[in-house]
Structure 1
Amino acid sequence: MMRYTNLRLARTPVCLAVLSTMLMGTNVMAQSQGTPDTGAQEIEELIIIGTAGGKGVSRDDVSFAVTTINNQQIEKIQPKSTADLLKSVPGIWAESSGGVAGANIDVRGLPGGGDAPFTSFSVNGSPLFGFNSLSFFEGSTLFRVDETVASVEALRGGPNAVFAKGEPGATINFQLREGGEETTGRVKYSTSDYDLQRVDGFVSGRLSEGLYYMVGGYASKSPGIRDAEFDSEEGWQLSSQITKVFDNGKVNFYARATDDHGQWYLPISLNNRESDLGTFSQLGNATRFREIQTAPSGTTETFDFSEGRGWDGLVSGINIDFELGAGFKIKNNFNHVSGDANTFGFVPAGSAVSVAALEEVIGGSVMTQQGDRLTGDQFAQTYGHWVVLKDIDSFSNDLSLSKTFADSHDVTFGWYQSSFSADDFWTLGNPIAVHNSQNGIPLSAGITPGDIASAGGNAGFAFGLSSEGNADVSALYIADTWSISEKLTLDLGLRYEEIDVEYRLDTGPGFPDGVRDLDVSLDGDEVATTAAIDYRVSDELGFFVRYSDGFSWPHFDSIRSGVQSVFGVEQLEGGIKFSNEQVRAYATLYHNETDAFNSVVGASVANSAFETRAVGLELEGEIFLSDRFTTVFGATIQDAEITASTNGNVGNTVLRQPDFQIRLSPQYDFEFGSGYQATVYGTFSYVGDRFGDNGNTVDLPSFEKIDLGLIVRADSGLFLQVHGDNITDSDGITEGDPRNPSAPNGRPIFGRSVKLSIGYDF
């Protein structure tokens, strides 16, 4: 078994580590927008996601596991990407070390290993795309967290399988700020020790009687913590929302234009001790541009790899919510998404080799293209310039009608429709021999990737494609929330869904060769169900039990790979909820099983499929030690294994996901001087051992991480924040090398960084 043991892991005091094994995570109180987070224990959380008709229900009354994060807590988390925010949610394992886009996100032991196959992202209740993942794409790519976000809801399991797009894993919903009677806003400037230059802001208020607005966004650029010798993280976003309030409801119009990208950080060589794991970047000015053949005719194009991974597109939608009288309520969420989610990556191929070994192969000195001679103790490696151009388009509409009967039944009928597409062009591989150093320089033309392979590395490969995928989904769902008594509530839900998929493919050696390789039309239908009992023992204590049976369709790239299985996901959950003036605590025990064998779309049987089982416990909550000192906590403990497989590995642990995660976030509020309030906060997190592959041959060790910060606010509205991320410079590894599991490569977390923000609230 390979084990990455040569890591410089920063350790923390034993007493803190022991305390943190009991407490972690985030459960954030829903607070008013733009105000300091004081008196949080007095404010009730209202949950929208996962509830019949989208009506707000107190968190203490819902019968599922949900985490809420408001804008004040986002400010303390300081996520470096949208996926990075999910590290605060129990039950979710988010590998956000890849940059601003393209994370790997797994949920409750469900089989993943790349992208986010069981995590759906939505805005104002509307899903951003019909499939959670495609190759080189996952939903968090389409959303950037900024000051226009009011709150986040993260629902795991439960009624996910029935509502919205029928996600059996996790649904992450971002609610945008709305305007109000008073004009409020924020302007903020941020910089860092890695030369970040960013301006954020928003303003909201009243346009006329019952008509309100919000507009905001950001502009940002930096070389990145992994400095690529140019601004490798750069972009902007502009969001707006208009709200019209009527006597019996309201209408929201929103639009969110984004053009933001960042370097795609990939596994790096762990046997080259010249590399600083926290700041190393192979990409640099010498490898930024590459001329690549794109067609059989010999046509070439020069690509700029500073563009990394990102999103250049528009998300827009309409939310309609009205009370019709006689207990009826109508709600409609419409959303349209269109743009480019491209990837330009400088990807390692196999192991780095010593220059001494390479000299033996070529029988001479190893020189760079700039004429520098390398020494025998330095390293060389094959890298490839990968280009993925992905044009996506999606619309969804979720119409629901709710009726309250006799003050005891809330019955909801819903109709969901979605059409979405992805048009791709790939040229992968394009190998090149490079000096494996910070911003490494290509080796002289006489040294080839084949030479590196002969020295013990890898020669790389060439693969290209052009594809078009289209899908149409329609679903009918019904739910009933039955208040049997003041203490006992029964939830029931049923969803029937149909899908039609068309996929066309042209592959070739580094570029599409002009020959149609695949033309597939599939259709299918599935049913999802959920049922739960919620019982309030007292005002402080309650519990629930829920069963759900959901599914996940095969996406375009799984069809390309010959996998047409529908993943069935069956879950059983039980939760305890406790809340008083000193403590809010939530514990959810879950058991899930997946089935990829018995349900197949179309006539073909999947050539690769497996089943899994996971048992786990999610803990989260908040302790109010005093009016000034609070601690947010949470943990995930799970056991996930492969129970059946066409490729072996039965009995092995599901890849990538740790059996144990903890997170502890204390904060202390105080006043000083005349008119100044301050908050000192921090987060300790621990991630347990994981396996980098389903074969369990690559062992990724545990790691810890500590963040610290200070926020100072003046009564005038001025504020200052200093945030230190990974202050002990821990070298945690989030993944091995998924393309070459035996290669001693790994993707580390970001090294230590410090960010300074100054701003004004009004």
Structure 2
Amino acid sequence: MKNKQLTRLTLCAAIAAVLVCSVANAQDTVPPQDTTPAPAKSAAQQKADSKNAKNLDQIVVTGNTATGGLKKIDTSYSVVTATAEQIKMANPKSAADLLKISPGLWPESTGGQTGANIEIAGFPGGGDAPFNTVQMMGSPLYGMPSLSFFEQTSMFRLDDTIDRVDILQGGPSVVFADGQIGATENYMLKTGTDVPTGSLGVTYGNENLRRTDLFLGFPLADSWFGSVGGFYRDSDGVRDPQFPADKGGQFTATVSHDSDNGTMTLYARYLNDRNQFITPIPLLQSGSDDFHAYPGFDPLKDTYYGKDIQHVHLAGYPGGGTDANLANGRGAKMSFFGGNFDYDLGDGWNISDKFLLDGGDMNTTALFSGTNPASLNDELYNVSTDQGGFALPAGSATASYVNGGGLVDPNQSVIHQGFWFIHKHLKNINNDFRLSKEIFDGNTLTAGVYLAHYTEDDRWALGNQMLMTNAPHAKPIQVSYVDGGQTYQLTDGQGLLDNGTFNITNRGSATNKAFYLSDTWRVGPWLFDLSGRVENQNASTDMCNFKSDGRVDADGKPVTGVIDTDGNPLTLYNNAVPVCDGTYTHTSYNKTHPSWTFGVNYELASNMSVYVRVNKGAHFPDFDNGIRGDAQGNTAPMQKVFNFEGGFKYQSQYLYADISAYHKQFNGLPFQPTDGAGKPIGNLSLYGSDSKGINLTGAVTPTENLRIQVVANYLDGHYSHNNSCLSFTNSVTGEDGCAFINGVQLQRQPKVRYMLTPSYRFPFAWGDIMAFVTYTHVGDHTQDQSGLQQLGKYDTWDFGIVADVQKNWELRVQGTNMTNELGLTESNSRIFGSASGTNGVILARPLEGREVNFQVKYKF
């Protein structure tokens, strides 16, 4: 049955390829992604230029060992390229959001500028971005793709210092750089030139965005060049938290040198930026996938964040407590220094070396969803404790606002959410050295060594559930109650129900060593490549152990791992606090694994090619997921993928198409249940997935100035390799459940997604105007492995107008979600199963509302 399905998918791709060939003629091509169409040419000129299919002639430097890179027509793998202008046309909210231009990649950008979940077709993720690597100038930004509360797009910002990007899925990436089995985006920086060039742009947005961008490239001396650039901005955000939602900037500089035999580039970057991490808000669900606004909450622009809950003191933070500020959000304070060196030694020998050294803080201060809201009266007396209620004696409680305002109305809707602070200090150094030799005409052998050493130093304070009004700009609530003549403090004076439930310190250190060989052989129109990699990861973590104060529970069993920090049983918020005792649990991890890939590309003509590729790779665990805290070293098995894909590329004057079909089998994924505070509970389970799909990027150019671009994918992916029932407790209903996941649709990955972008260029004597709209359809998707919580489907409209005035001026207006579509990317990620509670209330992350930006730029 599986073979029949794969055959049908491959046949569909083949039929599409035939149709492409039949409806277009192979004459001169206007690159469909180029924002300035080439002038009209005569038929003779078109025929003479028919070999210059410019989009397929674009050079791809990622995923291959060719000196200077490979033309896109020769790449036997799925890759999307974008220039600086094409990046801007996509109007990305962040580096993660840009990935939407690659079919099969699905970034969830509803959480803010950083901290996106990135889903890759056929790779079951569900949180952070474990199967995505960000490279700058060919070097990975960190030794592990992601950690808890960190993924690599969070330490990268888009600005005018970026020249272009290659976005690669699977294929040869399992062998090169950090051996990523999922997706890799490689950003290349602008460098200086012989003639000074630059730009200065000022942007204003309807969310009170104020931003300045600068780039300057210049000659330094003979064959030496320099560049500087960056941005600074602040913004209230579409979901205004009553303090700056996004504030900070980035500065980048390069020095480069060209010689007859090679090039050298050194670059440095400093990033200091903080961003609001957007918490799920309440919505109403009717049916399985129909969502509406919750009374008093605008789903397009409201947020719980506000000045009344902005500042707290977290007493349980390791080391004696700390002050936390929501305005710090999920930000980055990082420094980078790297270099690239490529040199032709002569006689067929070439060397290449890339290195990157970086370090800094990737902290998170944010609210994380707890259980669903309820009236204050129900929360205090009627909702059971396993559903987030307090089950206090009837009429015993006094609830008042923390910052004045008197008693809280018993009918007031309330919620408690975790005020989490995670300090994450990262360091990384990596180096990729390659030596190539042309063995004989058309055949080149490359040997490479990749080394990376990286560390993390963490302090976490999770839990810290704060009782607050269930309203925009929430207000904290403090509660006390009387029982048996004693007055108990349910919360502290800030409204915190606990002083943390997972307060840890954790240090991790790892070294990756990899050796790889790659052989490419060009035989006429054929290009063969065979590559293999052997990699060792030697990692360790030290996580603090917790104190115990000798107490026993009602059954006489010792209460371990928590203490009563003030010795007062009447202050309930600090009676069971995990506090590090100065000792550590050491976990070691040392594994070696091979990966390989084989590809064949056949150039049917100068403007079309077909390819097939097979690859097998593995994903090492990270410090926070798979290694930490197990003294016995009983870590989960490695996650492995086997991928088969085939594709077709074609370009003519009127049509461009890049179509690929794939079949991916994945196994070794761990499922670890957590409670509402994010603390691991229950047993670890393993599972896998089986996925088939088709990806398409293309464009139709019926006239010189009109172009219609498309990015589309279809995914038939489901969970596999686990016939057992995954046990869970639903914190909304309080019920225990068991979910069979075999055959369930992959979580948070739409079966169908496509973007259509028609654009038209209006030429004038003084310049030109280009106008475009983008229609995006996101198909049905689900929240988690159970498939019990549907997230529905949605459609959005974006637009842009770009005017080039004379030689130096550019005016740009762009907007997103112009129709204020209410679409969901995820619900409460700490709830397994259905997330809809009483009266259909659900916590979820919807799209942000309409956002329009205007920019004026001077270029020279």
> TM-score with structure 2 length normalisation?
0.80
Residue-by-residue CA offset, 1:407-450 (whole Å, 9 max, x unaligned): 21121111110001111100011111111111111124448999
**How much has 1:376 moved relative to structure 2?**
6.8
Q: Which runs of 5+ in 2 are unaligned?
A: 1-28, 40-52, 285-293, 383-393, 483-487, 492-496, 547-561, 563-576, 671-682, 727-739, 836-841
Other-structure match for 1:502: 540
Aligned mates of 2:318, 2:667 — CA distance in 1:
42
Relative distance call for 1:29 and 1:101 in structure 2 (3 A) is farther
> Counterpart amino acid of 1:51?
N
Cα distance 1:291–1:330, how it changes in 2: closer, same or farther (>3 A)?
same
Whole-Å Cα distance in 1 between the matches of residues 820 and 776 of structure 2?
13
CA contact (8 A) 1:506 1:513 kept: yes
1:309 is paired with a residue whose SS is coil
SS in structure 2 opposite 1:729? coil
How is 1:306-705 mapped onto 2 (pairs within 5 angstroms)? 306-355=327-376, 357-358=378-379, 363=395, 367-369=400-402, 370-371=404-405, 378-446=412-480, 462-484=501-523, 486-506=524-544, 508=546, 512-558=579-625, 559-560=627-628, 563-596=635-668, 607-645=684-722, 647=726, 648-672=740-764, 674-705=765-796
Cα deviation code 1:218-251 (max 9, x no counterpart) = 0110111110001121011000111111111110
Separation (CA, whole Å) in 2 of partners of 1:608 and 1:120: 26
Shift of 1:124: 0.3
Residue 96 of structure 2 is matched in structure 1 by: 83
1:543 Cα shift? 0.7
Q: Distance in 2 between matches of 1:383 and 1:217?
A: 36
Amino acid at match of 1:577: K
Contact 1:349–1:459 (CA under 8 A) maintained in structure 2: no
CA drift at 1:665: 1.4
Whether the aligned pair in 2 keeps the contact of 1:229 and 1:284 (CA below 8 Å) is yes
Paired letter, 1:687: V
Correspondence for 1:18: none
Q: Distance in 2 between matches of 1:676 and 1:397?
A: 46
CA–CA separation in structure 2 for the residues paired with 1:691 and 1:75: 30
Q: Distance in 2 between matches of 1:80 and 1:579?
A: 30
Give the 3-state SS of the residue equivalent to 1:636 in structure 2: strand
Count matched residues. 718
Q: CA–CA distance in 2 between the matches of 1:108 and 1:675?
A: 45
Q: Which amino acid aligns with 1:66?
A: V
Residue 296 to residue 121, structure 1, CA distance change in 2 (3 Å): closer
- Is 1:288 the counterpart of 2:310? The answer is yes
Partner AA of 1:198 in structure 2: R
C-alpha distance in 2 between matches for 1:460 and 1:356: 24
> Which string of whole-angstrom CA distances, capped at 9 and with x for unpartnered residues, describes residues 8-44 of structure 1?
xxxxxxxxxxxxxxxxxxx996999xxx644397463
Question: In structure 2, what is the Cα distance between the partners aligned to 1:54 and 1:733?
Answer: 44
Q: Which runs of 4+ in 1 moved over 4 A?
A: 27-32, 40-43, 358-362, 364-367, 372-378, 447-452, 458-461, 507-512
Segments of structure 1 that go 5 or more residues without pairing to the other structure are: 1-26, 453-457, 599-605
The alpha carbon displacement at 1:343 in A equals 0.4
- Please list the CA deviations of residues 292-314 of structure 1 after superposition, one character each: whole Å capped at 9, or x if unmatched: 114688x3321111100011011
Give the letter aligned to residue 240 of structure 1: A
Instruction: Tell which deviates more after alignment, 507-516 or 694-703.
Output: 507-516
SS of corresponding position for 1:592: strand
Q: 1:359–1:650: structure 2 CA closer, same or farther, 3 Å change rule?
A: closer
Q: Does the Cα contact within 8 Å between 2:456 and 2:507 map onto a contact in 1?
A: yes
Are the aligned partners of 2:460 and 2:503 in contact in 1 as well (CA < 8 Å)? yes
Residue 16 of structure 1 corresponds to none
Equivalent in the alignment of 1:6: none
Give the corresponding residue for 1:147. 160
Q: Secondary structure at the match of 1:87?
A: helix
SS of 1:235's equivalent?
A: strand
Q: Distance in 1 between matches of 2:720 and 2:741?
A: 9
Output the CA distance in 1 between the equivalents of 2:481 and 2:73: 65
Compute the displacement of 1:689 (Å): 1.1
How far residue 374 of structure 1 moved from its aligned partner, in angstroms, is: 5.9
Q: Would the alpha carbon gap of residues 28 and 550 (structure 1) be closer, same or farther in structure 2, given more than 3 Å must change? A: farther
Q: How does 1:187-336 map to 2 (within 5 A)?
A: 187-271=200-284, 272-294=294-316, 299-336=320-357
Shift of 1:451: 8.5
Q: In structure 2, the residue corresponding to 1:412 is in which secondary structure?
A: strand
- Cα separation, 2, equivalents of 1:188 and 1:376: 52
Deviations 1:349-396, CA, capped at 9 Å, x for gaps: 110113463586564896533316666765210012100000000111
Match of residue 162 from structure 1: 175
Partner of 1:602 in structure 2?
none
Mapped to 1, the partners of 2:843 and 2:76 lie a distance apart of: 43
Instruction: Tell me which amino acid in the other structure corresponds to 1:270.
Output: L
Distance 1:494 1:29, change over 3 A: farther
Cα distance change of structure 1 residues 727 and 399 upon mapping to structure 2, 3 Å threshold:
same
Matched AA of 2:778:
V
| 1:697, distance to aligned residue in structure 2 (A) | 1.1
Q: CA deviation at 1:53?
A: 4.4
Deviations 1:27-79 (A, max 9, x none): 996999xxx64439746311110111453211111100000111101122221
- Cα pair 1:74 1:85 within 8 Å, conserved: yes
1-structure distance, mates of 2:434, 2:517: 9
Q: Secondary structure at the match of 2:63?
A: coil
TM-score w.r.t. length of structure 1: 0.90
Using the alignment, how far apart are the partners of 1:143 and 1:228 within structure 2? 23
Give the 3 Å change call, closer, same or farther, for CA 732–459 of structure 1 in structure 2.
farther
Q: Which amino acid aligns with 2:648?
A: I
Query: Take 2:338 and 2:30, find their aligned partners in 1: how far apart are those partners?
Result: 27
Cα distance in 2, alignment partners of residues 231 and 144 from structure 1: 18
2:797, 2:359 → 1: CA distance? Answer: 38
Q: Name the SS of the counterpart of 1:556 in structure 2.
A: coil
